[in-house]
Amino acid sequence: MLADTPAPPYYAVIFATTRSATDADDGYEETAARMEELARAQPGYLGIDSARSDIGITVSYWCDEAAITAWRDNFEHEEARRLGRERFYESYFLRVARVERAYSWETGESS
């Protein structure tokens, strides 16, 4: 259920959002699902983690900066970002970060 990424280094795009107070049926869920599907098909895509409660956080993982640039310039993704600003989001913060260390743990492993 959690994104399972290879050993670092790789890149993370951390996208934190607050939603607009619009009606629930504004197309947000469909657009978000479509963007996840589209991201998965991009070269250099490594995985995605997403959660939403008071705020939304989506972290996508990419093998290098070129993969992030290509994803940014995808036409359908550009359209979705425009919709995001016009309709879905009240505010967002986007951060591009280089993952330097990573640790994973599952029940049953020693601590």
Q: Which two tokens stand for residue 104?
A: 């994973």
- Residue 73 interacts with a copy of itself (CB under 8 A)? no
Give, as ranges, the residues between 52 and 71 that touch a copy of itself (CB under 8 A): 52-57, 59
Amino acid residing at 106: E
Rounded-to-integer distance, Cα 7 and Cα 96, Å: 18
Judged by CB, which is closer to a copy of itself: 41, or 110? 110
Distance CA 28, CA 20 (A): 11
**How many chain residues interact with a copy of itself (CB under 8 A)?**
45
Angle formed by the axes of helices 75-83 and 65-72, nearest 10°: 70
49 binds a copy of itself (CB under 8 A): yes
Query: Which residues here bind a copy of itself, judged by CB under 8 A?
Result: 1-5, 8, 12, 14, 16-18, 20, 49-57, 59, 82, 85-86, 89-107, 111
